[in-house]
Amino acid sequence: MSSIVPVKEFAARRRKLMDVMAPDSIAILPAAPERVRNRDVLHPYRQDSDFFYLTGFDEPDAVLVLIPGREHGESVLFCKERNPEKELWDGFLAGPEGAIERFGMDDAFPISDIDDILPGMLEGRSRIYYPLGKDHQFDTRVMDWVKSLRAKVRTGAHPPGEFVSLEHFLHDLRLFKSANEIKVMAKAGEISAEAHCRAMKRARKGGFEYHLEAELIHTFMEHGARSTAYPSIVGGGPNACILHYIENRAPLKEGDLVLIDAGCEYQCYASDITRTFPVSGKFSPEQRALYEVVLAAQYEAIDAVRPGNHWNHSHEAALRVLTRGLIDLGLLSGTVEEAIAGEAYKPFFMHRTGHWLGMDVHDVGDYKVGDAWRQLEPGMVLTVEPGLYIAPDNTDVDEKWRGIGIRIEDDVVVTKDGCRVLTDGVPKTITEIEALMAD
């Protein structure tokens, strides 16, 4: 499957990062290590997001080195060499030649030679940009390379004298999505929307939560998304009130709602959708009343996603609607202002209304700049996900409300004059949901 993001865009990202690096500096970024699942079985490999963002390279045992001003090439990749015998067992390797030809690197070397070559690249560089503390084993290797240079100071060596966090600069770049990245995320949203629609239709047959999870995974893979962006949440009845419920083993009961929070990962970019719907295909009066409050809150929150508004505008908008709804339904008392100031809503709505979205489902990027909420700008992508959860053991409310959990979530990109919802392919009004499930 060809990548939507072209090789030249990865090169442009490396250029942008090097443009903000100090003179006489070097950046070092290792690929994600392989992880053991059990005994001699590995988890399916997933590249480190920062590494993939700069390279598009999806093999382990690789290290990216950026050296602004280096005569023989500024973007250098250390990676595994081609090995026909090993490739017979484990699959194709790009090798150093492929790193240059296919991935646009300026220079490349076998990873087996890194201990001999990289210390020489550090020589004369004053500053190292590096994600210190992310991989303790690799941290030790980097320190050993620096120590080896420090041991040669009396012979004229000039080791780096300072480490700088690579993430601060890199993550600000990742926060703003390009047109190609938004295309990938829109595709991920389209696939995930179809998966949610299929799960809604499947729910009418009853069964267990994992039957709906199976529909999700089947649809993801059918469209080329080989993995979920995060463990899928399929919570029926009171399980919907557990925010990170992932057991997905309980039976689907007539009369209950099902909350599905699930999204695929497509070409290393995440989608994140939540829908809540009735197993029977029809909302009860109480379910309908609470659902309409959450839906109104989401509409209000999405309307607040626009350039010039700050990050928290969306949350504040949703919170006002949710609190007003809880008071109108008799679940809270007093005024909206009093309930918000005293956080009386917290037993029913205990999370934020969204998060950044990108290569990670909870993507990188600061939410505040200094002490102020960050202003929204075109190219930022976030989720909008208000909810209401009435715990099954909440004796402060009438029994008819207990055990109802509702969340509605979409992926939204900030545009020049407002926003665009990337996940509107799955219904969310009561009329649309009931119609889909009746089909």
Catalytic residues: 40, 244, 261, 272, 351, 355, 362, 385, 389, 407, 409
Collect all residues with Cβ–Cβ distance below 8 Å to 134 and sequence separation of at least 6.
none
Query: Residue 24 and residue 27: Cα distance in Å, rounded?
Result: 11
Phi-psi sector, 193: left (phi>0), alpha (psi -120 to 50), beta:
alpha
285, 291, 295, 297: CA torsion to nearest 10: 110
For residue 333, give the amino acid letter.
Answer: S
Sheet holding 273-278, edge to edge: 233-236, 257-262, 273-278
Measured between alpha carbons, how far is residue 322 from residues 206, 344, 412 in Å? Answer: 31, 11, 20
Collect all residues with Cβ–Cβ distance below 8 Å to 413 and sequence separation of at least 6.
177, 182, 185, 379, 380, 381, 419, 420, 422
User: Are 401 and 415 contacting, i.e. CB atoms less than 8 angstroms apart?
Assistant: no
Query: Residue 24 and residue 160: Cα distance in Å, rounded?
Result: 9
Query: Residue 435 and residue 439: Cα distance in Å, rounded?
Result: 6
251, 252, 258, 259: CA torsion to nearest 10: 20
Quickly count: other Cβ atoms within 10 Å of residue 21's Cβ: 19
φ, ψ of residue 164 to 5 degrees: the values are: -130, 140
Measured between alpha carbons, how far is residue 16 from residues 25, 58, 72, 85, 246 in Å? Answer: 14, 21, 19, 39, 39
